[in-house]
Amino acid sequence: MTYLARKHGWHDVYPDDERVRATIDAYLYFHHRNIREASVGLVAPKIRKDLDIPEIMQGLAKRTLAAALNTLETGFLADSRFLIGSSVTIADMAAYVEIGQL
């Protein structure tokens, strides 16, 4: 998403300000290792039963997701409707899609 935003000049969802971009990027890294990781343990066992994901991984995914959602609520969303700043960014888009799936 960052590549597309830079390439096409989508400054409304990925502002030019490098500090804001760094904060968005930080969320996306957090997202990848926390929210996305939960998909492996929670969604995959439902749609890819052939993967035979162990119960221990599913339980870990639930704990990871619970901690990540807590971080979103108490950190990123503590003072705003949006993850970064006062409007939608690609961080919000990533969160919405993944959490909606879960």
List the domain range (segments joined by +) for residue 84.
16-101
Query: Where residue 72 sits, what CATH number does that domain have?
Result: 1.20.1050.10
Total domains, the chain: 1
Question: Does the residue 8 lie in any domain?
Answer: no
What's the pTM value of the predicted model, to 2 decimals? 0.86
Mean pLDDT in residue range 86-101:
93
Look at residues 26, 12, 17 and name the one whose alpha carbon lies nearest to residue 75.
Answer: 26
Q: What is the pLDDT of residues 8-58, one digit of tens each?
A: 999 999 999 999 999 999 999 999 989 988 877 888 888 888 988 899 989
Residue 5 placed within a domain: no
State residue 67's pLDDT score.
94
Q: Indicate whether 61 belongs to any domain.
A: yes
C-alpha dihedral, 78 to 81 to 10 to 71, nearest 10°: 30
Residue 102 pLDDT class (50, 70, 90 cuts): confident
pLDDT for the residue 100:
86
Give the model's confidence band at 78: pLDDT under 50 very low, under 70 low, under 90 confident, else very high.
very high
